[in-house]
A and B are shown apart, each in its own frame.
Chain A
Amino acid sequence: MAGDPIIRLRDVEKSYGPASAPARVLRGVSLEVGSGEFVALMGESGSGKSTLLNIVGALDVADRGHVEVAGVRYGEAKERALARLRNVDIGFVFQAFNLIEHLTCLDNVCLPASFSRGKSPAEVQERGKEVLGRVGLADVAGRKPGTLSGGQKQRVAIARALFQRPRILLCDEPTGNLDSHTGGEVIEFFRELNERDGVTLVIVTHEQRISSAAERIVSIRDGVIEDESAGAPAAKEAAST
Chain B
Amino acid sequence: MIAPGKLARLVATNALSNRRRLALHTFGLVVGIASFAFFLSLSMSVRSVFLEEIFPLDEVEVVAPRVGAADVDARDALNDDVVNEIRQHPDVKEAVPRMAMAFPASGAAMFMGQRMPFEAGGFADGVDPAYVADEDFADRFVDWEAEEHEREACGPPPERECGDHYYCDQRDNTCHKRVPIVVSRTLVELYNTQFAPSHGLPPIDEALEGMLASMLRLEIGLGETMFAAAMTGGESPPRQVEGMVVGISDKAMPIGVTVPIGYMERWNREFVGDEAAEVYSSIEVVLEGREAVAPFAGWVQDELDLSLADRQGERFATAIFIVTALFVMISLVIVTIAAINIAHSFFLQVSERKRELGVLRAIGGTRGDIRTLVLAEAALIGVIGGLLGVAAARVGAAAVDFAAHRWMPAFPFKPDSFFLFEWWIVAGGIACAVVFAVLGGLFPAGRAANMPPAQALSQD
Interface of A toward B, CB cutoff 8 Å? 50-51, 54, 57, 59-61, 79-80, 83-84, 86-88, 92, 94-96, 98, 100, 102-103, 107, 111-117, 160
Distance in angstroms between the alpha carbons of A58 and B407 in the assembled complex:
70
Interface secondary structure of B, over-half rule: helix
* Count of interface residues, chain B, beta-carbon cutoff 8 Å: 31
Distance in angstroms between the alpha carbons of A5 and B9 in the assembled complex:
39
Minimum CB–CB distance from B272 to chain A (whole Å) comes to: 88
List chain B residues, Cβ under 8 A from A102.
13-14, 17-18
Asked whether B363 lies within 8 Å of A115 as measured between CB atoms, the reply is yes
Chain B 354-395 per-residue mask, 1 if CB under 8 angstroms from chain A, else 0: 011011111111110100000000000000000000000000
Minimum CB–CB distance from A183 to chain B (whole Å) comes to: 18
Interface of B toward A, CB cutoff 8 Å? 1-3, 6-7, 9-10, 13-14, 17-18, 355-356, 358-367, 369, 452-455, 457-459
5 interchain pairs, CB-CB under 8 A: A60-B453, A96-B355, A98-B355, A98-B358, A115-B363
Which of B3, B358, B363, B458 has most A Cβ within 10 Å? B363
Minimum CB–CB distance from A166 to chain B (whole Å) comes to: 10
Distance in angstroms between the alpha carbons of A59 and B369 in the assembled complex:
15
List chain A residues, Cβ under 8 A from B364.
83-84, 86-88, 112, 114-116
Which of B452, B454, B458 has most A Cβ within 10 Å? B454
Minimum CB–CB distance from B15 to chain A (whole Å) comes to: 10
List chain B residues, Cβ under 8 A from A80.
1, 366
Minimum CB–CB distance from A118 to chain B (whole Å) comes to: 10
Asked whether B453 lies within 8 Å of A115 as measured between CB atoms, the reply is no
Asked whether B18 lies within 8 Å of A98 as measured between CB atoms, the reply is no
Asked whether B366 lies within 8 Å of A79 as measured between CB atoms, the reply is yes
Asked whether B3 lies within 8 Å of A117 as measured between CB atoms, the reply is yes
Asked whether B363 lies within 8 Å of A160 as measured between CB atoms, the reply is yes
Which of A94, A96, A102, A115 has most B Cβ within 10 Å? A115
Minimum CB–CB distance from B453 to chain A (whole Å) comes to: 4
Closest to B366 in A: A83
Minimum CB–CB distance from A146 to chain B (whole Å) comes to: 12
Closest to B7 in A: A114
13 new A-B contacts at CB < 8 Å, known A84-B364, A86-B361, A96-B355: A50-B458, A59-B362, A59-B453, A60-B453, A60-B454, A83-B361, A83-B364, A86-B364, A98-B457, A107-B13, A111-B363, A114-B365, A116-B364
List chain B residues, Cβ under 8 A from A111.
359-360, 363
Minimum CB–CB distance from A209 to chain B (whole Å) comes to: 23
List chain A residues, Cβ under 8 A from B458.
50
Distance in angstroms between the alpha carbons of A208 and B13 in the assembled complex:
41
Distance in angstroms between the alpha carbons of A147 and B212 in the assembled complex:
78
List chain A residues, Cβ under 8 A from B360.
111, 114-115
List chain A residues, Cβ under 8 A from B13.
102-103, 107
Distance in angstroms between the alpha carbons of A114 and B362 in the assembled complex:
12
Distance in angstroms between the alpha carbons of A87 and B454 in the assembled complex:
15
Minimum CB–CB distance from B450 to chain A (whole Å) comes to: 12
List chain A residues, Cβ under 8 A from B453.
54, 59-60
Tell me which of B7, B454, B455, B459 contacts A96 (CB under 8 A): B459
Distance in angstroms between the alpha carbons of A98 and B453 in the assembled complex:
12
Asked whether A60 lies within 8 Å of B365 as measured between CB atoms, the reply is no
